[in-house]
Amino acid sequence: MSEPIDTLVKRAEFLFGKRRPLLPFWQEISENFLPMRAQFTRQFYLSEQFADRILTSYPLMVQRDLGNAISAMLRPREQEWFQARIEGWESLDKTSKAWLQWATGVQKRAMYDRHSQFVRATREGDQDYAAFGQTAITREMDMAERRLLYRCWHLKDTVWAETYNGSIGEIYRYWYPTRQEVCKLFPKTVSPNVKSQLANDPHVEVKCMHVVVSGEDYDRVPLPGGDKPPKYRTPWVSCYIDVENKVVLQENASYSRIYTLPRWATVSGSAFAYSPAAVAGLPDGRLLQAMTLTLMEAGEMSVRPPLVAAQDVVRSDVSIYAGGITWVDAEYDERLGEALRPLITTSGEGLKHGFEMIKDAREQLAEAFYLNKLALPPPDRDMTAYETGQRIQEWIRQALPLFEPMEVEYNGVLCDDTFEALMRVGAFGSQADIPSPLRGKQVKFTFESPLHQATDRKKGALFLQAGQMLTEAMQLDPTNAFQVDAVTALRDALEGIGVPATWMRDPKVAQQMADAKAKQDAIAHGTNTVLAGAQAAQALGEASKTLGGAPA
């Protein structure tokens, strides 16, 4: 196995070297906005004081707010933020829809299991995504226990390459477990060198690498008579390598890429993305730090200005603290000037102007990080329902383009990968239990968020508005009632506001019940008509008898 190891290590070193010029830029972003990740160009020690080079915490807070908004908007824990769907969902029967909703619940419970670390991984990933425009999250089956395990990795240890069509291909990640961890995770394939040194010092780190490459390219070298057939026929191959000892620790076929690598804004010719928020906010972040330092110095100058002392007059140290006494020669004549006087006098106007500049810089920084687009601004006056609706639509138009790409490359890949993994381990039961309309179909996910709720629930408002318009129109012409398919409109409105499929009857069953009700009403109407006719005939007969028996 030395040949594929050497090939993979050389390929990894090439990609890491190609990405090296990007590290100082990421280091500066992290020092200004995310100090906990400032490990791109320097070693990080736990004894350090975080953000000790920063004078104001405002840049850190705007980045934190944007990172927190990603989970709050796209993965609200209190809502069913993703739903399993297939093409043609609207035409599915009740059983198929109910099974997809049940499978969604199974997947959510697996993802939010406390041992899966999904919340931790995505929370760390959201901060990386907001600051650097990308993150690296893995979804694996726990090596020790058969359950999902999500982890977020530092970008400095992870590189990847693009394929010809712009998608992400091979992925390499350096990993530094201890000798004890390597022996525990890979007891059968661990290097004899690591095993022999385990007793002496089990906590020494071992340089390892995790590689995910295409299955058709792994361990495939050209031969004189043609290419060697691929060793694996799966889309991907996952391989753990002990780089120091040149040992393959684990080699598995994989149907998924394992890594979720969402990219915010891409650049032509580069496999790595960038954060539009951090790029736009970095100049303001630097400016804000410099302005804060200047104001701190100016404030100190105004409170404790430098002093000028008359030569050979001051007889003690100058005491500038509260209640301090400075001794001056008693024979000094004050008419020659004060023995001790400030060198600089300030009126405070400069400080006021400086605070205004800082306020402007903060507003620019908040706008760079889209904080003005995350929440609907409060109304400045009383508004009609139409005006409120228009404001909501404007907010959706501004905020939806910000979060919509994240749903596809971030949430979408995570959910698709997790669904496939759970399906392969039988988490959704037997294949025979899957309704026949769903078998062999590609499951896709739709996502719920405050933005989508505002968009989808328009159907409910439109239904009510259409009902009001029809009521007015029917007063002019009763035949206008036939202009709208009330059954279809009601079902669309109910699905739009999130009514579960288990609450809804199958359209065919509902139509049969409606037909039976109409038939029953017709029979009841006919019976009532016959009874009314009989009563009328009886009344007429009684009237005839009364008239016939009356005296002439």
- The dihedral formed by the CA atoms of 11, 17, 20 and 21, expressed in degrees to the nearest 10: -120
Give the pLDDT band of residue 206 (cuts 50, 70, 90): very high
DSSP string, 447-496: E--HHHHHHHTHHHHHHHHHHHHHHHHHHH-GGGGGGS-HHHHHHHHHHH
Long-range contacts, stretch 454-458, CB < 8 angstroms, 24+ apart: 454/392, 454/395, 454/396, 455/396, 455/400, 456/496, 456/497, 456/498, 457/496, 457/497, 457/498, 458/496
Structure token digits, residue 127: 């901060």
Q: Specify whether the CB–CB gap between 106 and 100 falls below 8 A.
A: no
75, pLDDT greater than 80: yes
DSSP assignment, residue 216? T
pLDDT of residue 429: 85
Out of 80-84, 171-175, 346-350, the most confident range is 171-175
pLDDT of residue 552: 42
pLDDT of residue 500: 67
Structure token digits, residue 432: 């025979």
Angle at 108 between CA 102 and CA 113, to 5 degrees: 130
SS3 of residue 431 by DSSP: helix
pLDDT over 90 percentage in the chain = 28
Beta-carbon-side half-sphere exposure of residue 196 (alpha carbons within 13 Å): 4
pLDDT of residue 161: 94
The tens digit of pLDDT for each residue in 210-224 reads 999 988 878 765 555
Mean pLDDT in residue range 18-46: 89
DSSP string, 322-382: TT----B-TT--GGG--SEEES----SHHHHHHHHHHHHHHHHHHHHTTGGGSSPPPPSS-
Strands 136-141 and 259-260: what pairing? antiparallel
The tens digit of pLDDT for each residue in 245-278 reads 999 999 888 888 999 999 998 888 899 999 999 9
pLDDT of residue 437: 85
DSSP string, 228-260: PPPS--SSEEEEEEETTTTEEEEEEEESS--EE
pLDDT of residue 154: 94
530, pLDDT greater than 60: no
CA 114: distance to chain centroid?
Answer: 19
SS3 of residue 146 by DSSP: coil
153, pLDDT greater than 90: yes
Q: Specify whether the CB–CB gap between 217 and 233 falls below 8 A.
A: no
174, pLDDT greater than 80: yes
Q: What are the φ/ψ torsions at residue 343 (nearest 5 degrees)?
A: -75, -35
Q: Specify whether the CB–CB gap between 27 and 38 falls below 8 A.
A: yes
Q: What per-residue string of b and e applies to 153-189 under the rule 16 or more CB within 10 Å gives b?
A: bbbbbbbbeeeeeeebbbbbbbbebbbebbbebbeee
Segment holding 197, helix H or strand E = none
403 or 416, greater pLDDT:
416
Mean pLDDT in residue range 142-170: 87
Structure token digits, residue 15: 């990609």
The tens digit of pLDDT for each residue in 323-357 reads 667 767 666 667 666 766 666 666 666 677 788 88
In this structure, how many other beta carbons lie within 10 angstroms of the beta carbon of residue 205?
13
pLDDT of residue 1: 45
Out of 413-417, 496-500, 532-536, the most confident range is 413-417
pLDDT of residue 293: 86
Give the pLDDT band of residue 549 (cuts 50, 70, 90): low
499, pLDDT greater than 90: no
165, pLDDT greater than 50: yes
Mean pLDDT in residue range 23-45: 90
Q: What residue segments make up the domains of the chain, in order of their start?
A: 2-77+112-279, 306-343
Structure token digits, residue 290: 């410099």
Average pLDDT value for the chain = 80
Q: Specify whether the CB–CB gap between 89 and 97 falls below 8 A.
A: yes
The tens digit of pLDDT for each residue in 230-249 reads 777 888 999 999 998 999 99
Closest CA relative to residue 242, chosen from 195, 287, 200: 195
The tens digit of pLDDT for each residue in 440-486 reads 888 888 776 655 555 555 566 666 767 777 777 777 777 766 677 77
Q: Where do runs of H (alpha helix) occur along 34-81?
A: 58-74
Distance, CA of 150 to CA of 119 (rounded, Å) = 9
Among positive and negative, which fits the CA dihedral 127, 128, 129, 130? Answer: positive
pLDDT of residue 76: 82
Work out the burial of residue 196: count CB atoms within 10 Å of its CB; fewer than 13 is exposed, 13-18 middle, 19 or more buried: exposed
pLDDT of residue 299: 76
Q: Specify whether the CB–CB gap between 55 and 362 falls below 8 A.
A: no
Distance, CA of 334 to CA of 263 (rounded, Å) = 72
pTM of the full structure: 0.76
